Chains A and B, each alone.
Chain A
Amino acid sequence: MRPPRLAETLLTVLLPEGYRGDSVRGDLFEEYTERARKSRRRAAIWYWVEALRVGFRYVGSRRVPVFNGPGRPTPGSRLDRASRTSWMRDLAFDIRFGFRGMKREPGWSLATLGTLGLAIGATSGIFAVVYGILLRPLPYPDPGRLVSLEFTPSSQATLEEASSWDDRMRRHYRRSITFPAYESLARGVVRTRRGPGAGNDHRPFWGLGAFDATWSYDVSLGEEGGTQRLGGVLASASLFQVLGIPPLVGRWTSEEEDQPDTRGAVLLSYRLWQDRLGSRRDLDGVQATVNGIPYTVVGVMPPNFGFPSETVDLWISLSHASRGLGSTNYEVVGRVVPGPDERQVDGALASQRVGLIRTGGPDWEMRPSVTPLQSSLVGEVRPALALLFCAVSTLLLIACVNVMNLALTRATRKEQEHGLRAALGAGPGRLARLLLTESVLVSILGAVLGLGLTWIIVNAVPGFAPEAVPRKASVRLDGAVLVFTGAVAVVVGLAVGLVPALHAVRLRSGTRLIPGFRWSSWGSVERRLRDGLVVVQLGLALVLLVSGSLLIRSFAALLNEETGFDPVSVLTFETSLPGDEYAEASARRAFYQELNDRVLSLPGVREAGMTIYLPAGGQFHWGDIEMEGHSPAPGQEVRVEQKEVTPTYFDVLGMDLLEGRPFRAEWVWSDAKEVVVTESLGRRHLAGESPIGRRINTGEDEWWTVVGVVADVRHRGAERDVPTVFFPYYSYRGGLDVALKVEGDPGVLALPIQRILADMDPDVTLFSLMPLEARLGRAVAGPRFQAFLVGAFGLLSALLSVVGIYGVMAYAVTRRTREMGIRRALGAESSRIVGRVAAHGFRLTLFGVGLGLVGVFLLTGLLEGFLFGVGPHDPTTLILAVSLLSGASLVACLVPAFRAARTDPLLALRSE
């Protein structure tokens, strides 16, 4: 049992050398041991408190030898120690002085501590989030050498085609290639021999690993059965060597287990191992059935391993993975050899080409390049986090201005005291140090209080942040965050204390001893400073308030968006077909025909519709079409989203038919050459003419007739205003998504649907079984997160600045009590006094709001990417925010104004 190390060290520094100091430490140690027998934690706290009390008491009492001689003391000499001690003694005194000051003015301390605690706590909390997600090094050995490979079109033809890709498509093809492409790339760039024998091998990678995190899997483990849908990753054996994290139990998968048609292997996450296998260490003979295929469980990864995201529970060898040329789903990570930097690696990769072979057009040729793994894992959340950090920094700035104003007020109040100190011989430096120490002390105490808020933010974020935010588990309240908090506290303390310190330094001894001697030049400088601070504060608050309101309005717009369909009471799921059995279109049709009939027979299901992609799922299929009687200018081709749907799809999703008719419902599978289009096709490409009856061609020389027009389907994520052409389901090669219009609780249908599919074909995978509303909810989780936080910061900042202006006005009135009293005594009417005081406040508000508007126009443009359905300079939002802020601030001015008007003349005159 040892007392806290740091406290012991502190004591050693503060206590005198020799056995006296030693004996004190012995005494405290003795008592600590005694107390620790009852409770170690309490004993540790006690030890800290006593170490500080005794230590500082000692330092504070030490006699300082006077040093009069020229020059500096020799380092390490007694005199040197003495001067160090004197410095510490001053510090101890200043700290005690600070505490006493706070005790004497509880109102001031409470306001300052509260404001700073709130702002520093929130800033530290957001910093913890930003640090954990963006900055903390990845938990792999030598993470700086881990890179993610990216691919950009290299041939002219590919480049031309790529120019028409939409954002999501571009993102997908930037990251993902086919397995054959990965293999040939690995042959070209990975060193085969290491060490001294490597000779002239200049290839830039120690290893490359491929993974496909697109899917999730139905998994049962061990003998107990019970299938669970889990996040899984298809991972090449080399991936684990590249990442370099050894398994906790067992071994990694091997290259043999990646070969096609061998018995595959899986690695389990720690979480899954605990839950489903009860942490048994003996994995011999344990098997996992993944989507109906048996795999051997070969190992368990340690608890903190989560690649590429924390939701992954299973790493599956590639034995049964799709290696087809059509499966462009493999992302590639690599470990670079020591030495070359990113540019040199890119140089070494310049000669490499990755071919993506396609069936429906010319092959694409891509050139690989590298980007640090860390930034590629977190790249997409960076702007959102930057936004949050900006917002919270503004809040901190506003809080600082508030506290600065409070400090200034206090400094003026204490002019006499400081003047007295100066008169008694305190040099300007000493006085400044006293005030700075005091303000840093307050700021640090505020930060300590604020850590409570930091803790709340750190713990709430993983639950509250959208699912897609990576690395949430590495958001922790740890040393790095504490260092940041400490640094912010000190900087804020110094900044806030600077003005009062300068104020005190400018005092000449004596001048401030005379009561009532006030209307000096400093007075006007100070007044202007205070007014300026309020103006800045109001301006900043307006910017933050407008930003928050914009995000909230944008979020509301998302929720109330006219989607073109009705998601209520619609249950959805997705299916995926195993390749070989369903190679023939007729087999696929037969399967879905049966599925359709069987789900319709379930109680509560009113209608079933199928499509290749449900809305808000993030998937899409683009293509150019040719329209009869429409010859577009080059570059103006008719680009549409193409979707195959069953005839009942429109009914299930409640899509409004605007014109014509839907597909003939009597056919479940229609082979009539008819299409239904969304209204924007006519609006955009036919100058508003009705497209009904027109024929369109998808490029395969098949002509389809438009028979119906439905309302546009919109949802966040899809390019708005891009027309969709619905084809009858005919031959789409992949699995279909199913939407069911249900009555009552859709939850009770989950199990029967799973049973039906398992019964029909256990190899067919069922996934994402959820209400359509939940799908839409997932799409707005990000905006909800930003809107909530920035909105909260905006309101908080408005509150702080209103308190700020109230403080300034109230103070101005107090200072002018005498003047008001005289005016009243000479017969001034109350209304005139109110007017005078309020006018001052109004002016400040006006300037502040003006400044804020300039800021809004300069800065909110940066928000554009986060907004939906509302512009960055939306007038309604602006008017609302301006009236809210100025209204509150005017009320804050009127309260002291009325108080001024009620001043009793006699009392006022006596007050000086």
Chain B
Amino acid sequence: MGNRSGLLGTFEQVVLLAILRVGKGAYPPLVREALEEGLGRSVSRGSVYVTLDRLEEKGFLESTQGEREPGRSGHPKRYLAVTEEGAVALREVRNTLRIFWEDLGPVLDAEVET
């Protein structure tokens, strides 16, 4: 398996991380909540769903169909879990960034004149 981190956009990364944060029982509304909390801004439901679909198509996450619940008018929940591939991709992103960040702390932390 080659390096797949290039396939992960920023929003995709945080979505995957949010799923991991929620842990077991993660499903879209909880993930969205975690995203909003972490990002400190509101996130539209549509973009969450679309991103989830895309990540699943790429194989970075998998979803399982839950029971049909009466509190959801008989619709099932879609439980989300990050796949091994997803975890690998996240790690690669982190490593890549770490390499680039090394030694740059003083430069970026200082006031930058534009």
Which B residues between 44 and 72 are near A, CB-CB below 8 angstroms? Answer: 44-47, 49-50, 53, 63, 65-66, 69, 71-72
**For the complex, is A628 an interface residue (Cβ under 8 Å from B)?**
no
A56 CA / B75 CA spacing, docked (Å): 20
- Chain A residues with CB under 8 Å of B72's CB are 26-27, 29-30
Contact code string A29-41 (vs B, CB < 8 Å = 1, else 0): 1110100000000
Contact code string A11-49 (vs B, CB < 8 Å = 1, else 0): 000000001101111111111010000000000000000
- Chain B residues with CB under 8 Å of A22's CB are 75-76
Are the CB atoms of A19 and B65 closer together than 8 Å? Answer: yes
Closest to A2 in B: B73
* Most chain A CB neighbours (cut-off 10 Å) among B63, B73, B78: B73
Task: Give the shortest distance, in Å, between B56 (CB) and chain A (any CB).
Answer: 9
Q: What are the 5 A-B residue pairs with the smallest beta carbon separation, nearest first? A: A57-B46, A26-B75, A26-B72, A23-B78, A54-B46
Are the CB atoms of A20 and B53 closer together than 8 Å? Answer: yes
A interface residues, how many (CB within 8 angstroms): 21
- Chain A residues with CB under 8 Å of B75's CB are 22-23, 25-26, 29
Are the CB atoms of B49 and A54 closer together than 8 Å? Answer: yes
Closest to A32 in B: B73
**For the complex, is A163 an interface residue (Cβ under 8 Å from B)?**
no
Q: Main SS of chain B's interface residues? A: mixed
Task: Give the shortest distance, in Å, between A32 (CB) and chain B (any CB).
Answer: 9
Are the CB atoms of B77 and A26 closer together than 8 Å? Answer: yes
Task: Give the shortest distance, in Å, between B83 (CB) and chain A (any CB).
Answer: 17
**For the complex, is A594 an interface residue (Cβ under 8 Å from B)?**
no
Are the CB atoms of B45 and A50 closer together than 8 Å? Answer: yes
Closest to A61 in B: B50
A262 CA / B49 CA spacing, docked (Å): 79
- Chain B residues with CB under 8 Å of A58's CB are 46, 49-50
Instruction: Given the known inter-chain contacts A20-B53, A30-B29, A57-B50, please indicate yes or no for A25 contacting B73, CB distance below 8 A.
Output: yes
- Beyond the given A22-B76, A24-B28, A33-B71, please list 10 additional residue pairs across the A-B interface where CB-CB is below 8 A: A19-B65, A23-B76, A26-B74, A27-B45, A29-B73, A30-B29, A53-B44, A53-B45, A53-B46, A58-B46
- Chain B residues with CB under 8 Å of A31's CB are 29
Task: Give the shortest distance, in Å, between B22 (CB) and chain A (any CB).
Answer: 14
Which A residues between 130 and 176 are near B, CB-CB below 8 angstroms? Answer: none
- Chain A residues with CB under 8 Å of B71's CB are 30, 33
Task: Give the shortest distance, in Å, between B71 (CB) and chain A (any CB).
Answer: 6
- Chain B residues with CB under 8 Å of A57's CB are 44, 46-47, 49-50
Could you list 24 examples of A-B contacts with CB < 8 Å?
A20-B63, A20-B78, A22-B75, A23-B28, A23-B76, A23-B77, A23-B78, A24-B78, A26-B74, A26-B75, A27-B27, A27-B28, A27-B29, A28-B45, A29-B73, A33-B71, A50-B45, A54-B45, A54-B49, A56-B46, A57-B44, A57-B47, A58-B46, A61-B50
**Chain B residues touching A, range:** 20 to 34
A23 CA / B47 CA spacing, docked (Å): 15
A24 CA / B75 CA spacing, docked (Å): 8
Task: Give the shortest distance, in Å, between B68 (CB) and chain A (any CB).
Answer: 8
- Chain B residues with CB under 8 Å of A2's CB are 73
Are the CB atoms of A26 and B45 closer together than 8 Å? Answer: no
Q: Main SS of chain A's interface residues? A: helix
Closest to A56 in B: B46
- Chain A residues with CB under 8 Å of B53's CB are 20, 61
* Most chain A CB neighbours (cut-off 10 Å) among B44, B53, B72, B74: B72
Which B residues between 23 and 37 are near A, CB-CB below 8 angstroms? Answer: 27-29
A58 CA / B46 CA spacing, docked (Å): 7
A28 CA / B63 CA spacing, docked (Å): 18
Task: Give the shortest distance, in Å, between A552 (CB) and chain B (any CB).
Answer: 54
Question: A residues within 8 Å of B by Cβ?
Answer: 2, 19-20, 22-31, 33, 50, 53-54, 56-58, 61
Task: Give the shortest distance, in Å, between A74 (CB) and chain B (any CB).
Answer: 26
A6 CA / B49 CA spacing, docked (Å): 22
- Chain B residues with CB under 8 Å of A28's CB are 45
Task: Give the shortest distance, in Å, between B77 (CB) and chain A (any CB).
Answer: 6
Are the CB atoms of A26 and B44 closer together than 8 Å? Answer: no
A277 CA / B29 CA spacing, docked (Å): 57
A53 CA / B71 CA spacing, docked (Å): 23
Are the CB atoms of A24 and B49 closer together than 8 Å? Answer: yes
- Chain A residues with CB under 8 Å of B66's CB are 23
Are the CB atoms of A26 and B69 closer together than 8 Å? Answer: yes
A861 CA / B33 CA spacing, docked (Å): 70
Closest to B69 in A: A26
Closest to A24 in B: B49
A218 CA / B85 CA spacing, docked (Å): 91
Closest to B32 in A: A27
Are the CB atoms of A19 and B49 closer together than 8 Å? Answer: no
- Chain A residues with CB under 8 Å of B27's CB are 23, 27
Which B residues between 76 and 106 are near A, CB-CB below 8 angstroms? Answer: 76-78
Task: Give the shortest distance, in Å, between B97 (CB) and chain A (any CB).
Answer: 27
Closest to A19 in B: B65
* Most chain A CB neighbours (cut-off 10 Å) among B44, B45, B46: B46
Task: Give the shortest distance, in Å, between A54 (CB) and chain B (any CB).
Answer: 4
A17 CA / B29 CA spacing, docked (Å): 20
Are the CB atoms of A19 and B45 closer together than 8 Å? Answer: no
- Chain A residues with CB under 8 Å of B46's CB are 53-54, 56-58
Closest to A22 in B: B75
- Chain A residues with CB under 8 Å of B65's CB are 19, 23
Task: Give the shortest distance, in Å, between A27 (CB) and chain B (any CB).
Answer: 5
Instruction: Given the known inter-chain contacts A19-B78, A20-B53, A31-B29, please indicate yes or no for A26 contacting B73, CB distance below 8 A.
Output: yes
A31 CA / B73 CA spacing, docked (Å): 12
Task: Give the shortest distance, in Å, between A309 (CB) and chain B (any CB).
Answer: 49
A33 CA / B27 CA spacing, docked (Å): 17
- Chain A residues with CB under 8 Å of B63's CB are 20
- Chain A residues with CB under 8 Å of B73's CB are 2, 25-26, 29
- Chain B residues with CB under 8 Å of A27's CB are 27-29, 45, 72, 77
* Most chain A CB neighbours (cut-off 10 Å) among B27, B28, B45, B74: B45
A22 CA / B76 CA spacing, docked (Å): 7
Closest to A18 in B: B65
Which B residues between 5 and 45 are near A, CB-CB below 8 angstroms? Answer: 27-29, 44-45
Task: Give the shortest distance, in Å, between A766 (CB) and chain B (any CB).
Answer: 66
* Most chain B CB neighbours (cut-off 10 Å) among A22, A26, A33: A26
Task: Give the shortest distance, in Å, between A231 (CB) and chain B (any CB).
Answer: 52
Task: Give the shortest distance, in Å, between B48 (CB) and chain A (any CB).
Answer: 9
Task: Give the shortest distance, in Å, between B24 (CB) and chain A (any CB).
Answer: 17
A428 CA / B21 CA spacing, docked (Å): 50
A56 CA / B46 CA spacing, docked (Å): 8
A520 CA / B28 CA spacing, docked (Å): 56
Closest to B46 in A: A57
- Chain A residues with CB under 8 Å of B44's CB are 53, 57
Closest to A29 in B: B73
A25 CA / B75 CA spacing, docked (Å): 7
Closest to B28 in A: A27
A54 CA / B78 CA spacing, docked (Å): 16
- Chain B residues with CB under 8 Å of A25's CB are 73, 75
Task: Give the shortest distance, in Å, between A18 (CB) and chain B (any CB).
Answer: 9
A906 CA / B113 CA spacing, docked (Å): 37
Task: Give the shortest distance, in Å, between A601 (CB) and chain B (any CB).
Answer: 80
- Chain B residues with CB under 8 Å of A54's CB are 45-46, 49
- Chain B residues with CB under 8 Å of A23's CB are 27-28, 65-66, 75-78
A22 CA / B73 CA spacing, docked (Å): 10
Task: Give the shortest distance, in Å, between B88 (CB) and chain A (any CB).
Answer: 24
Task: Give the shortest distance, in Å, between B44 (CB) and chain A (any CB).
Answer: 6
A910 CA / B49 CA spacing, docked (Å): 49
Closest to B49 in A: A24
Task: Give the shortest distance, in Å, between A740 (CB) and chain B (any CB).
Answer: 73
Task: Give the shortest distance, in Å, between A37 (CB) and chain B (any CB).
Answer: 13
Partner of B76, one of A19, A33, A56, A61: A19
- Chain B residues with CB under 8 Å of A56's CB are 46
Closest to B54 in A: A61
A25 CA / B72 CA spacing, docked (Å): 8
A512 CA / B65 CA spacing, docked (Å): 54
Task: Give the shortest distance, in Å, between B75 (CB) and chain A (any CB).
Answer: 3
Closest to A23 in B: B78
